[in-house]
Amino acid sequence: MKPLFDFLLKIFILSVILWGVIFWGAAAYGIDLVSVFVAWILIAINSLTGYLLFEYAFDKPQAEYTKIIFGGLALRLLVLMVLVAVIIVQDLVAIGDFVLSFFAFYCIYVIIEILGYQKKNKQKKKVA
């Protein structure tokens, strides 16, 4: 299976499971779904962008690979910080639900992103 398709499939399955839990939690505990959705969209786009940058940089020389990966990471984190600051300062969503779900999604999705990197590296070793 191609690594990008595998990554997207894992993200999709994880998202379906997480949203099932979120809908259950919203019914039982009164979670603001708009806040959770905004956090999820930010993190899903961040993870997808990170993996696509990795795919782009994978066969590049070491110096260029490092610039793309770490430069992309710094830029993605900067964009996320600015967006989170705007959302919090403008009070666009329920802050508590947003912040909690943002950190939870970030921790979960970064693990999937790293596993995607590892799978791509293992496939490269098998070919070589």
Domain boundaries, the chain: 3-120
State yes or no: pLDDT of 128 exceeds 60: no
- Which residues are within 8 A (CB) of 120 and not within 5 positions of it... i.e. 6 or more apart? 3, 54, 55, 58
More confident position, 30 or 105: 105
Hey, what are 43's tokens?
């993190």
Can you give the pLDDT at residue 127? 58
State yes or no: pLDDT of 20 exceeds 60: yes
State the average pLDDT for the chain. 88
Helix spans in the chain (H): 3-29, 33-57, 62-89, 95-127
State yes or no: pLDDT of 121 exceeds 80: no
The residue type found at 86 is: V
Q: Considering the entire predicted model, what is its pTM? A: 0.85
